Structure 1
Amino acid sequence: MANKKKVVVTGFEPFGDHAVNASWVAVQELQRLGLGEDVDLHVCEVPVEYKAVENMLPSLWKELQPQLVVHVGVSGIATTVTLEQCGHNRGYKRLDNCSFCPTSQCCMENGPDCIKSVLDMDVVCKHVNDSDLGVALSVSEDAGRYLCDYTYYTSLYLGHRRCAFIHVPPLGKPYSSQDLGRALKAVILEMLDVLTQNCTEEKEHKHEEQCHHKHQQQQRC
């Protein structure tokens, strides 16, 4: 199908107390489920390393040119599947898996302090929570100032905000890998619907502006 939407979904490798990273397990479950025939799904595992993220994300966006990138990470304190609305540029003091952190403690030297996704996470959250998914969703504006936040901000910057970040709880607290995979599928399909709707509204708005401009020109003639 020529008009397939290309979506990239990433999870993280193990780190710290997370000998098994629920995010990558959930992404692999999503890959098994798929996103339907209309979506070309690509998945990859991201190292918990600042420099690896810096090197990996630009090529991901440039080579694949996806309509949407969704990064998934694990949060030890989360009890819901959490949709992150924004990424932050500064405050990165924690060492990564290579015992490194940026000297500047920021993602982009001249970047804005915060970048919001083009997706309204409250809308996505409400629609999915209103379904019979059986997995609770919530929205957050603080992705934690570690590799999750760092990856999200960098991807929002590179992808002109066509990006999302989802935090999942550790496996079994309370959801299984199958639950998390189903949740990711429902959320990402909803995100694609919202993006399509946003695109349609933008086109209609531009068309209205053009029509108004032509009408003004006719009035001047």
Structure 2
Amino acid sequence: MILLTGFEPFAEDAINPSWLAVCRARDMLRAEGHSVEVVELPCVFGESGAALIDAMDRVAPEIVISVGLAGGRDRISLERVGINCDDARIPDNRGQRPVDEEVVPGGPAAYFSTLPIKAALRNLLIAGIKGEVSQSAGTYVCNHVFYALMHSLASRPGIRGGFVHVPYVPEQLGPGSQTPSMPLETTAEGIAVIARTALETSVDVKLSAGATH
């Protein structure tokens, strides 16, 4: 079983491509015979992590891929590490704006993704989909969910998971906008590629995908 999660809209956006893309990826993967469930998470500190853990308890997944929006990026970002820090630049959908608070009080400083992110990057590029390994998932609700996911998986042997950021879809941007975007179908196929790779890859590949800053 694969569990895919996306987010509800937040800030000024009427839609969230993370949710649209995981729903489309679910359909693609189910058509191939895979068992897939999707859950829309609230863009709210605390509630989002709890909703994700409830979903894992309910569907007992083998793979968990949480997806969020990173407006301004031009490619699918495979997040490497989630940190134990909530530091919100803007309020969440409940008006909360935590500053320098821990996601899990007393928890480890960080967790690494247990998805095969390098193999997934390779397969994205083979498929002609722009991708990257990202070294920071930020400190907003996306990172909150990423850390909460990995903290939960630390006590759930046999389940692998991680976080992926996706760009805007073109429909969110005004005419003539220079902000990067990615068509929904491409984004969804990218998520499906990552899911297939996770199912097929037990040991990640060695592939340079670091950063100098």
Alignment partner, residue 188 of structure 1: 195
Deviation at 1:102, TM superposition (A): 4.5
Deviation at 1:23, TM superposition (A): 0.6
State how far apart, in whole Å, the 2-side matches of 1:198 and 1:122 are.
10
Matched, 1:106 2:113: no
Q: Secondary structure at the match of 1:32?
A: helix
State how far apart, in whole Å, the 2-side matches of 1:188 and 1:155 are.
16
Which of the residues 161, 185, 188 maps onto 1:178? 185
Q: Secondary structure at the match of 2:37?
A: strand
Matched, 1:158 2:152: yes
Q: Secondary structure at the match of 1:186?
A: helix
Alignment partner, residue 39 of structure 1: 34
Deviation at 1:37, TM superposition (A): 4.8
Q: Secondary structure at the match of 2:189?
A: helix
State how far apart, in whole Å, the 2-side matches of 1:35 and 1:86 are.
29
Q: 1:35 to 1:193 in 2, by over 3 A?
A: farther
Matched, 1:13 2:8: yes
Post-superposition CA distance 1:140-187 (Å, at most 9, x none): 020011010000100011022721111110002432111111111111
Q: Secondary structure at the match of 1:34?
A: helix
Alignment partner, residue 97 of structure 1: 93
Instruction: Give the number of aligned pairs.
Output: 190
Which of the residues 35, 53, 59 maps onto 1:58? 53
Deviation at 1:33, TM superposition (A): 1.4
Deviation at 1:103, TM superposition (A): 7.1
Deviation at 1:120, TM superposition (A): 3.8
State how far apart, in whole Å, the 1-side matches of 2:17 and 2:9 are.
9
Alignment partner, residue 114 of structure 2: 118
Question: Which ranges of 4 or more aligned residues in structure 1 deviate by more than 4 Å?
Answer: 35-38
Deviation at 1:40, TM superposition (A): 1.0
Aligned partners of 1:61 and 1:158 also within 8 Å? no
TM-score scaled to structure 1, two decimals? 0.79
Alignment partner, residue 83 of structure 1: 78
Aligned partners of 2:41 and 2:52 also within 8 Å? no
Aligned-pair Cα RMSD in Å:
2.0
One-letter code of the match for 1:144? G
One-letter code of the match for 1:156? M
Post-superposition CA distance 1:63-89 (Å, at most 9, x none): 222111101111112100110011110
State how far apart, in whole Å, the 2-side matches of 1:37 and 1:19 are.
31
Deviation at 1:32, TM superposition (A): 2.3
Aligned partners of 1:87 and 1:114 also within 8 Å? yes
TM-score scaled to structure 2, two decimals? 0.82
Aligned partners of 1:34 and 1:41 also within 8 Å? yes
What 5-or-longer segments of structure 1 have no aligned partner? 1-5, 200-221
Deviation at 1:36, TM superposition (A): 5.2
Q: Secondary structure at the match of 2:35?
A: strand
State how far apart, in whole Å, the 2-side matches of 1:108 and 1:7 are.
25
Percent of paired sites with the same residue: 25
Aligned partners of 1:84 and 1:143 also within 8 Å? yes
One-letter code of the match for 2:74? T
State how far apart, in whole Å, the 1-side matches of 2:93 and 2:148 are.
18
Based on CA coordinates, which of the two structures has the bigger radius of gyration? 1
What 5-or-longer segments of structure 2 have no aligned partner? 171-179, 205-213
